[in-house]
Structure 1
Amino acid sequence: MKEDLKILQIIFKNARSKRQKCLICDENSINSHLLQKNGILNLISSKNHITQIKGNDFFKAEKDGIIGIKSVGINNAMSYPLFCNYHDTNVFAPIEKEEHNLDLYTNQLLFSYRSLCAELRKKMINVDIFERIKNSRQFATNTSLIEMAKSQIEANSMGIQDLNWYRNIMELEINSSHNSQDFIFQKIDFDFIPVSASASYSPINPEEHTFEVLKNPENILNYIFINFIPQKDKLTLILGYHRLKKDNWILEYISSWKKLSKSEFKTKLTDLFATKIETWAISPEYWNELKPENIKAFKDYWNDNANNLRITQSVDFNLFE
C-alpha cells in the first residue's frame, strides 16, 4: 500500500510539474496568474502571501483529508502554466492595468477567458495523470484503479472538448475588431471583504445529465464564468455565460446574487467556495479571524464532497459568520 501511494505521489508530482506549452502557441508557458498580482491579489495579501486551497499529498491525505487551506506566496498564488510570456503580457494587457474598467465587455471577457483556460489546463493535466496511472506497471493488476483511471480520462476528455468550444469562440472575439458579444455578463458590487475567485463552473443536474448525455459530443455543457475581483473600496462579482448555452439554473443563480444582505452574501459565498469552485483565495489575516468550528465544517464538507459536481449540493454553515 505504501509503495502504491509513493508511486501515485510521484505520478501526480511529475505530471503537475511538467513543462507545458502555451495554450495559444508552441512556446513554453510561464506561471500565469488568474488575477493580477498588482492591483488585485495584493489587496488581499499579507506579507506577500494569500491563503487558498492546496491539495495534500497522498500520505497526509489519509489523516488530514485531500485538501488543506494553506498560505501561498503571492508569486505562485492562483496561478497555472497557461501562456507564454508574450501572450500572457499582450493578450491580457487591458486588465493588467491597476485602473482596469470592469464595466467593459472586453475586460469581462478576458477575465472569463483566463478562468476557462485554467480549467482547461487542469483537465489536460488530469488526463496526463490518469494516462500514467493506466500505463504504470505498478498498477497493472489493480483492476479497480485501472478502470477508475480510464473513467477519469474519458470524463476529463469530454470536459476538454466542451471547454475548447467556448475557448474558440472567446478567442475569435478577443482577436476580432468587430465584437460580436456572444457572452452575457452581469457585474455586481459588494462591500469589500478580502477574498478573490476566478473559475469556470458547469452545473451538473443529475436528472438531466446522464452518462449517455454527457458522452454525446454534440451536447456541449452549459458553463458559467465566475470572477470575484477585490478593489480598493469594494468587491466586484462578474458572472458570465454564452448567450446560447444557458438554462434556468444559470439565470436564477445569477439573479440570486442580487440585493443580498451582508449575512446572505457571506452564506452564498460559503456555498460557492464549498460546493462549486476551488480557485479562490482569502487574506491570511481574515482567514485567521474565522471561527475554528466554521473552518472545520468547511474542510470536512470539502473533503467529503470534492468529487461531487451536482447542483443539488447545499451547506448548513456560514464560513464567515
Structure 2
Amino acid sequence: MKTEHPKIAKIFTDCANKAKSETNICMHPNCNEKAINSHIMQKNGILSSIADDKHLWESSIDHFKQEYTRLHRKGINKIYTFTGFCNNHDTSIFSKIETEGAIDFQDYESCLLFALRTTYNELWLKEVVIKMQECVINHSGVDTDNQILRETIRQNKLGIKDLEHYTNSMWNDLENKTESFVFEHREMDYKEICLNAIFTYDTSSEIMDYQYKYGKDMERTSEIFISYFPYNNKSILLMGYHKDDTAKVKSYVNLFFKENIKRTHKRLSSLIIFNCETWVCSNTFYKKKFEGLDSEFFKAMKFSAKNGNERKTFNFDLFKADFQTTFKNFINKNVG
C-alpha cells in the first residue's frame, strides 16, 4: 500500500540519495581521495557463489510504501556496496582476504580485515544518516518532528565516536602487528546468505538505565563484529570483540561457538531478523524463506524498536523448513 504522504516520502528519498552521493571520500586515516563503490564482502568467490542469476536480495527502505522496509532484488555489481575507500586503499588493504588465495581463519590479520571493512561500512552508514536527517530538517517542504530527527543525529554521532575507539585499534594492529581483538570462527553447513554487521552488546534497556542512573551517555558501548558467509562449500561464522571488553562480552560470544548447531542457528536467526540489517541472500534462499513476508518484516522492525533486550534469542529458526510458518506465528502473537 502506498504512503499517504508522497511529498514527504519524496523529500526523504531525495535527501537519502543526496547524502549517499556526498559521502564519498576515502575513509583511510591518511587519504582524501574519492572513494569507489566497493563491496562489503568479496564479490568474486563469495557473493558470486550465491548469485546464481547475478542478482541478490537485501533489506531496503522505500519511503513511498506505508510498510517502508522490504526485501529488494539488485544486481551483484551494485548490491552490498558502499563508497568507503579509494581504489588504491580498497585494493591494497584487503588483498589478503580478497586476492591472495585461500583465507586462513586462524590468521589474526585476516580476521581483523573482515572486522575493519564491516566497521567502515557501519561508519559510512552513520554518516549518511546524519547528512540525510540534516537535509530533511533544513527542507522547507516537510512538516515532521525535528526533535526526533535531531536525536537520531545525536545518536549516530555518538555511534561514530564509539566506533573510532575500535578503528584506532585496528589501524594500530595492522601497522604494528599487535593484537587488540579476540576472534572466533566456526564452520557450519552451507547456507546462501551473507551477513556483515556490528552488534551492540549493551541492550537498549541497559543503555537507558545507565542514562537514567548517571544522567549521561555511556562512555562507549561494547561492540561485537560479526561475519557469516559461504566459503568453500561451508558457511563461516566469524565473530570478534576488543580485548578491553572481554569480561563483558566473552560469555555471550562463546555461546555461538560452544552450543549445538540448532541453538546457534536460532541465535543467528534472531540477529538477522531483528538486529542486523547488513545482509544479502541468494534468489533461491529468498524464494524458500522470505518471499511473501514483506509485511512481517516490517512488523519485525517495529517489534525490534520496542524490544529492550536485543540479546534475547527467539523461538524460530531461519534455516529450518518451517521458518515461514513459525515466523508468521511469532509476529501475529507478538505484534499483530
TM-score category, normalised to shorter length: 0.7 to 0.9
Paired with 1:37 and 1:305, the residues of 2 have a C-alpha distance of 30
Cα 1:70–1:206 change in 2 (3 A) is closer
> Structure 1 residue aligned with 2:25, among 21, 27, 30?
21
From the superposition, tell whether residues 202 and 159 of structure 1 become closer, same or farther in structure 2 (CA, over 3 Å): same
In the TM superposition, what are the counterparts of 1:113-124 in structure 2 within 5 Å?
113-124=116-127
TM-score by length of 1: 0.88
Deviates more, 1:14-23 or 1:180-189: 14-23
Shift of 1:135: 2.0
Q: Which residue in 2 is equivalent to 1:205?
A: 203
Which range moves more in the overlay, 17-26 or 251-260? Answer: 251-260
Q: Offset at 1:223? A: 0.5
| Equivalent in the alignment of 2:332 | none
State the TM-score, normalizing by the size of structure 2. 0.84
**5+ long unaligned stretches in structure 2:** 321-336
Corresponding residue to 1:88 among 82, 86, 90: 90
Q: CA deviation at 1:206?
A: 3.9
How far is 1:294 from its partner? 6.7
Q: Is the 8 Å Cα contact of residues 276 and 309 (structure 1) preserved in structure 2? A: no
Partner-residue secondary structure (3-state), 1:300? helix
Q: CA deviation at 1:30?
A: 0.7
Cα 1:5/1:193, change in 2 over 3 Å = closer
Specify the SS of the correspondent of 1:256: helix
Tell me whether 1:99 sits opposite 2:102 in the alignment.
Answer: yes
For 1:38 and 1:101, the matched residues in 2 are separated by 17
How far 1:315 sits from its partner (Å)? 3.5
1:8 aligns to what?
12
1:192 aligns with 2:197: no
Q: What is residue 273 of structure 1 aligned with on the other side?
A: 272
Displacement of 1:292 in angstroms is 5.4
Residue 231 in structure 1 maps to residue 231 in structure 2: yes
On the 8 A contact 1:193/1:235 being kept in 2, the answer is yes
Q: CA contact under 8 A between 1:294 and 1:318: conserved in structure 2? A: no
Summarize the alignment of residues 45-194 of structure 1 with structure 2, pairs less than 5 Å apart. Answer: 45-56=51-62, 58-60=63-65, 62=66, 65-97=67-99, 98-139=101-142, 142=143, 145-176=145-176, 179-194=177-192
Label 1:20 to 1:314 Cα distance change in 2 as closer, same or farther (>3 A).
same
Q: How far apart are 1:266 and its partner, in Å?
A: 3.1
Q: How many residues align?
A: 311
Q: Matched residue of 1:255: which SS?
A: helix
**Deviations 1:218-241 (Å, cap 9, x if unpaired)?**
712110000113112211111000
Structure with greater helix share of residues: 2
Letter in 1 for 2:240: G
TM alignment of 1:29-48, pairs within 5 A? 29-48=35-54
Q: Is the 8 A contact 2:23 2:124 kept in 1?
A: no
Partner SS state of residue 150, structure 2: helix
Q: Take 1:137 and 1:243, find their aligned partners in 2: how far apart are those partners?
A: 47
Contact 1:294 1:317 in 2 (8 A): no
Counterpart AA for 1:10: D
CA root-mean-square deviation = 2.5
